[in-house]
Amino acid sequence: MSHLDHTPSTPGKFKIDKSPYYSRTRWHSSVAKLTLWSFLFVAIIFLFFYRSPSSSSNNPPSSDPSRRYLASATWGGAAWEKRVRTSARIRSRNGFSVLVTGAAGFVGTHVSSALKRRGDGVLGIDNFNDYYDPTLKRARQALLERSGVLIVEGDINDVALLKKLFDMVPFTHVMHLAAQAGVRYAMQNPGSYVHSNIAGFVSLLEVCKDANPQPAIVWASSSSVYGLNTKVPFSEKDRTDQPASLYAATKKAGEEIAHTYNHIYGLSLTGLRFFTVYGPWGRPDMAYFFFTKDILKGKSIPIFEAANHGTVARDFTYIDDIVKGCLGSLDTAQKSTGSGGKKKGPAQLRVFNLGNTSPVPVTDLVSILERLLKVKAKRNVMKLPRNGDVPYTHANISYAQKEFRYKPTTDLQTGLKKFVRWYLSYYGDKKAAVR
């Protein structure tokens, strides 16, 4: 593959008036406050427990092989610094210089490519952990390198590395997409979520607050923060104090941490609540991805149903639409107001839903895959387990529409067709064809 996924190019910057930023959400009850501080206290305990003295900031606990990544990666030197500066160099008028964390990830790769295409300077950072097949991440890395984007191999908890990058490049923006993803995996390895989603976020914000100039930060929260909320569609104004998984709790904690750094240090922060992102170069742990794999192999696939044989549905959002939302958020992000760790005025604080607004039953997703693959799925219907999954998601995107004209345009049928085409090309499966 010489380019991303046969998908259309992402439009350039949005040239619209900047409307007042979203008002900050406050805790309205003592119960909510207690929940927040209790969770943060537990998080601190996890940090001390999982980050033992023998573990460097670039090495998650060695007792957990599922979180290993290359510790031998080195950085520094004249040649390396030249590559960093070249990758981050702005090539368009009024362009940005953007540090993209998690750049070898699914969303990170697409966003980095779109930024580079429109002339922004882009530098990536990724630790290439093996939560899922690192080979896929390396393939994404090669894809970006061919377009001129360098991904520095390192961890966002490595403060020395982050400071070095900021010393070399005056980043105007940070697109923070690095995170430990997945709802179910939190039951197996809770420490990895605290390490990446809380400690990693704080490490990044600490470096950003001390930078001069401070960058504007756009970061990935999650629709999972809505948790057990039964009001649909989900609005940014809805309560988010009932997380159904540790993953959701760490993302909610991230939103509160963002509020803190905005309030104290004047950092401009925009959180994006993604709704079930799918598409080419996606994550193998996502249902649409491993359904495709197992259907082709003739294996049975789990189809969950809610209580009383209820429908499980997701607001599936195609990657191109998510990228447009990410770029729209960057383009409308106001500058941070601090300097050298000191706040000089109120700063922008926002959170947006980025979804498709059209929830689709998982059974319909499977039917579409059957038609595209020309293979009948072996469905194993079972009750939705109590592992953090929720039965239904639906995004209200009116705020993003108002702020930067966010408008998803890809339906599930069209998006899955593009995904399947990429999947068959990437993995070389010639037994099925896309209609």
Question: What pLDDT digit, counting tens, does each position of 345-381 carry?
Answer: 999 999 999 999 999 999 999 999 999 999 999 998 8
Which tokens belong to 112? 């980095």
Question: What pLDDT digit, counting tens, does each position of 133-162 carry?
Answer: 999 999 999 999 999 999 999 999 999 999
Residue 390 confidence class, pLDDT cut points 50, 70, 90: confident
Query: For residues 365 and 290, is the Cβ–Cβ distance under 8 A?
Result: no
pLDDT higher for 227 or 385? Answer: 227
Query: For residues 416 and 286, is the Cβ–Cβ distance under 8 A?
Result: no
Judge whether residue 230 has pLDDT over 90.
Answer: no
Say what the pTM is.
0.84
pLDDT score for 86: 98
* 101-110 burial code (b ≥16 CB/10 A, e <16): bbbbbbbbbb
pLDDT score for 366: 97
User: Measuring CA to CA, which residue among 379, 181, 182, 415 is closest to residue 294?
Assistant: 379
pLDDT score for 266: 97
Please state the rounded mean pLDDT for residues 306-324. Answer: 88
Torsion of Cα atoms, 338 then 341 then 342 then 348, to 10°: 30
Please state the rounded mean pLDDT for residues 223-246. Answer: 92
User: Measuring CA to CA, which residue among 260, 258, 291, 256 is closest to residue 369?
Assistant: 291
Integer Cα distance of 229 and 244 in angstroms? 9
Q: Which of these ranges, 95-99, 173-177, 180-184, 376-380, has the smallest mean pLDDT? A: 180-184
Provide the mean pLDDT of the chain: 85
pLDDT score for 353: 98
- Backbone φ and ψ for 380, nearest 5 degrees, come out as -115, 95
Please state the rounded mean pLDDT for residues 230-234. Answer: 91
Judge whether residue 316 has pLDDT over 50.
Answer: yes
Please state the rounded mean pLDDT for residues 313-341. Answer: 96
Please state the rounded mean pLDDT for residues 316-331. Answer: 98
Integer Cα distance of 434 and 416 in angstroms? 10
Per the residue annotation, which of 22, 69, 193, 247 is the catalytic one? 247
Q: Is residue 426 annotated as a catalytic residue, yes or no?
A: no
Residue 229 confidence class, pLDDT cut points 50, 70, 90: confident
Residue 55 confidence class, pLDDT cut points 50, 70, 90: very low
